[in-house]
Structure 1
Amino acid sequence: MHTPAHDSVRTQSLVWSDRISQVPKEVFVSEPLFEQELKTIYYGDCWHPVAHGGELPEVGDFKTFDLGRMPLLIARGKDRELRVFLNSCTHRGTQVETATCGNRPEFECPYHRWLFALEGDLVGCPGSKEFAPDFDKKNFGLKQLRTAEYLGLLFVTLGEATPPLDEWLGESMRSTLRVVLAGDGRLKLLGYQKVRYAVNWKAYNDNDGFHAPLLHTGFRLLNWQGGQGAQFMTPNGHIAIEAQLKPIQSSGFLKDPSLIEFKGQNPEKGSCVVELFPVSVLVKHLDVINLRFAIARSHDVTEVHYAYFSHADDDEAMVRHRLRQSSNLLGPCGMVSMEDAAIFQRIHIGSFTPGYAEFQKGVTGGKEPSFDVKQNDETGQLPKWEYYRQLMGFKREAEA
């Protein structure tokens, strides 16, 4: 439901404030705007992480995922390469695979039994002797999409002019991602938690370090004090936050404090968060390795797949430690993150009122977003918002 202030006519002519620290609330609640975002961002010249190789270690392993509304099929072929296909039969467009993950020797469309190899080739189609005279199986393999990898993290793009992945990420993001991905990307899947938040995708990914000790009761109950850190941004909307982990002072809150032990080797980067434009979040906190693959379902629903990993060289004790720590600490109902879902929904509800979302901590008063911010400044989000505004073609008041 939309108020008159959030109709499609106004969305197409939305003018932003000249104040760099103001974001119009309308962008969080407009359904017509979401349709435009799908075309411009999700199906445009952006890279999107959709899987990690640790989820599909064996030949025949597959997973399905959605990019906006676009169904994808990700599979490891007999040559051990990972490929991403449109999950749509090249005959009549039927969804080929419905399972979320598994292992198959090939993929079969149930409608007319067209059979596809793991590499996407069409290898069987009943009744083909009576098909059109120019029919050739070579022309009807599953539609394969352009992909690229960084330390096993698989990205896909639908755009024709998307820059190379290294350029898209930038050195600062690659550096922090390297820490999140355990240095070499040799990960093993522990499991998933999947959740739908009643919030627009931009509010889900508008996450700053400023709120954590203020919102999350777990931080206060644990008497958790953050150390020194830094925040990095790129002109195309990515954010990385690195923070030192100080030893946790026992507050008596936990009967088993081993849950929050840090067994890693580098407390200087004990906590690392990467927010990749448009909507993905990747986290390494204590010994948790958590890749959050997000799906923009609609203007008011964002689905997030929390995938938890261990490292390939972990012994059994370390695997158990990571498993206990993962969802219990930072999952959708983890003890230091359980308030997020409620806040997401309240952001969405509150955004149906007129005006702006106002950023304050770290604001310098300039007309351009600053890339020189402190670890917990909320203004680290502003370069992302400026990139979004320009990408979507919205003008500021002085330009209108």
Structure 2
Amino acid sequence: MTEINLSWPKNYNEVPKEAFVRKDIYAEEVKRIFHGTEWHPVAHESELPNPGDFKTFRLAGVPLLIGRDVEGVVRVFYNACSHRGNQLETAIMGNKTEFECPYHRWLFDSKGDLVGCPNPREFLPGFNKADYPLAQPRFDIYFGLIFVTLSAETEPLLEYLGDSQNCLRELLAGDGRLKLLGYQKVRYDTNWKSYTDNDGYHAPLLHQAFKMLNWQGGKGRQYTATHRGHICFESALSVATGPSVLKDKSLIEFKGQDPAVGSRIVSLFPTFVSTKHLDVINLRFATPIDAETVEVHYAYFAHQDDDEDMVRHRLRQSSNLLGPCGLISMEDASVFHRIHIGNHTPGSAIFQKGVHDPLKLESEFLQNDESGNLPRWEYYRSVMGFERATV
């Protein structure tokens, strides 16, 4: 692989700002991370409830076609015709039992098999349609969450997830039997690492709505789940009372069974974030567009066993709390962009909250620490091959 020179500080709590903005570094990230040996969540099975349902997604530029075939089996294909590579499907989502390439009218069924092509008698001798199915990347499924890797060398999914499995399973309602409520999609003017560098320290300070949930006083924890730098939050929230609270308290009402864990977050390297704040089940499928832009698909879910009132409750909370204009996270877009601008200055970003020894990397953190992001940065540094300074 290409070697890139970047001076990485000796202290674990320092991250060079160059890592956020250099275009040569971004190009190498695409090769080593997004097209390398990582698993990337790209959809949940509940987005494809019926035979023939499909959605499309681009993983750092690589087009994917994710669908459920006529027999109900989930499949993932590269979204490219096996003939000359033309993009096969342009719709964001839909329902089809066949996919036809408009260029030369090659036709594929929902299993990805080539079932028709014009004038095959004039093709190369011995041409056989069975030799030209849609190509497929490796994929696996964990409680309905569909993961893709573009490398044959990536470790098995469960090994990759490590200790994040339990928290992720709980976030997926315990059994993964979800029902799609809808999406909010946005592009942030920032590098993908700025987007994923969110921490527990900023939550009640930037997001005023978190004051209503007493995040700052929470007794929850965050911990590193694997050597891959995944981070899990199990956070305590308590809804405030009094005249300063919203007039419609149902927006921050918690109907979950365990109020001691009012929030769960699983952040899987490199860009996937899943959250359950109060009763909102939110999966965030993110992909870098370029060195200065990241696209995030906020997908919201209910549980299949929810009654009508609970579905309505989850829907109202989903549309009002999270996403690009949610009460909790509406400030993110502005701050992400300002971080990106600020990172065009010399020096390093220096983490403070929760750092006990800059020369030691820890794995357990308090709910409001920013130091929980440091194991992720150490993993990133090692994947990119950046040498840490010794002095």
TM-score (norm 2): 0.96
Secondary structure of 1:65's counterpart equals strand
- Indicate whether 1:50 and 2:42 are aligned: yes
Q: Give yes or no for the alignment of 1:161 onto 2:153.
A: yes
Confirm or deny that 1:338 pairs with 2:330.
yes
CA offsets, 1:193-248, max 9 Å, x none? 00000011111011111101111122336766643211110221100001122243
Aligned-pair CA distance for 1:253: 3.8
Inter-partner Cα distance in structure 2 for 1:73 and 1:124: 19
Cα distance, 1:327 vs structure 2: 2.2
1:204 counterpart letter in structure 2: Y
Partner of residue 4, structure 1:
none
Q: Which residue of 2 aligns with 1:218?
A: 209
Q: 1:221 to 1:238 in 2, by over 3 A?
A: closer
Aligned: 1:100 with 2:96:
no
Q: State the distance in 2 between where 1:366 and 1:15 align.
A: 17
Structure 1 residue ranges without an equivalent (≥5): 1-8
User: What CA distance in whole angstroms lies between the structure 1 residues aligned with 2:18 and 2:286?
Assistant: 21
Greater CA drift, 88-97 or 221-230 = 221-230
Residues 340 and 384 from structure 1, CA distance in 2 versus in 1: closer, same or farther, beyond 3 angstroms? same
- SS at 1:395 equivalent: coil
Q: Would you say the 8 A contact 2:216–2:368 is kept in 1?
A: no
CA distance in 1, matches of 2:240, 2:157: 38
Displacement of 1:250 in angstroms is 3.4
**Higher mean displacement: 260-269 or 219-228:** 219-228
Whole-angstrom distance in 1 between the partners of 2:211 and 2:250: 18
Q: Deviations over 1:272-302 (max 9, x none)?
A: 0111000010000100000000011111100
State yes or no: 1:128 paired with 2:94. no
Match of 2:364, SS?
coil
What letter matches 1:304 in structure 2? V
C-alpha contact 1:373 1:379 (8 A) present in aligned 2: yes
Letter in 1 for 2:231: I
Supply the distance in 1 between the matched residues of 2:206 and 2:159 (Cα, whole angstroms): 35
2:305 maps to 1:328: no
Equivalent of residue 104 in structure 2, options 102, 112, 119: 112
For residues 296-315 of structure 1, the aligned pairs below 5 Å read: 296-315=288-307
The residue correspondences of 1:64-83 to structure 2 (distance < 5 A) are 64-83=56-75
Question: Does structure 2 conserve the Cα–Cα contact (< 8 Å) formed by 1:223 and 1:251?
Answer: no
2:218 and 2:378 map into 1 onto residues whose CA distance is 29
Partner of 1:192 in structure 2? 183
In the alignment, structure 1 residue 353 sits paired with structure 2 residue 353: no
Stretch moving more, 247-256 or 62-71: 247-256
In structure 1, the residue matched to 2:385 is 393
Q: Does 1:19 align with 2:16?
A: no
Q: Is the 8 A contact 2:232 2:266 kept in 1?
A: yes
Partner amino acid, structure 1, of 2:230 = H
Which residue, out of 344, 355, 365, partners 1:363? 355
**AA of the residue aligned to 2:221:** A
How far apart in 2 are the matches of 1:189 and 1:128? 42
Q: Which whole-Å CA distance do the structure 2 matches of 1:250 and 1:114 have between them?
A: 65
Q: Which residue of 2 aligns with 1:6?
A: none
Q: 1:255 Cα shift? A: 2.0
The one-character-per-residue Cα deviations of 1:32-63 (angstroms, maximum 9, x if unpaired) are: 11111111001111000000001001100000
Identity between Structure 1 and Structure 2 (%): 59
Structure 1, residues 109-161: CA drift from partner, whole Å, max 9, x if none? 11111111111111111111101113211111100111111100000001111
1:222 and 1:267 map into 2 onto residues whose CA distance is: 11
Could you tell me which residue of structure 1 aligns to residue 247 of structure 2?
Answer: 255
**CA spacing shift, 1:31–1:303, aligned 2, 3 Å:** same
- Tell me by how many angstroms 1:105 deviates: 1.3
How many Å separate the matches in 2 of 1:121 and 1:111?
Answer: 18
Match of 1:175 among 144, 166, 175: 166
Map Cα deviations across residues 236-271 of structure 1 (whole Å, 9 max, x no partner): 110000112224323344221111111111112220
One-letter amino acid matched to 2:48: L
How many residues in Structure 1 have an aligned counterpart in Structure 2?
A: 389
* Superposition CA RMSD, Å: 1.5
Q: Tell me the distance in 2 between the aligned counterparts of 1:386 and 1:47.
A: 18
CA contact (8 A) 1:225 1:248 kept: no
Whole-Å separation in 2 of the counterparts to 1:226 and 1:309: 28
Q: Is the 8 A contact 2:221 2:364 kept in 1?
A: no
Over 3 Å counting, the alpha-carbon distance change for 1:204 and 1:110 in structure 2 is: same
Pairwise CA distance, 1:187: 0.2
**Runs ≥4 in structure 1, deviation > 3 angstroms?**
220-226, 250-253
Tell me if the contact between 1:40 and 1:392 (Cα under 8 Å) persists in the aligned partners. Answer: yes
Q: Aligned to 1:314, what secondary structure does the other structure show? A: coil
Distance 1:58 1:368 in 2: 50
User: Does residue 60 of the first structure (1) align with residue 34 of the second (2)?
Assistant: no
Counterpart-to-counterpart distance in 2, 1:373 and 1:385: 15
- TM-superposed CA distance for 1:22, in Å, is 0.5
Amino acid at match of 1:227: G
In structure 2, the gaps of 5 or more residues are: none
| 1:222–1:279 CA distance, 2 compared to 1 (3 A) | closer
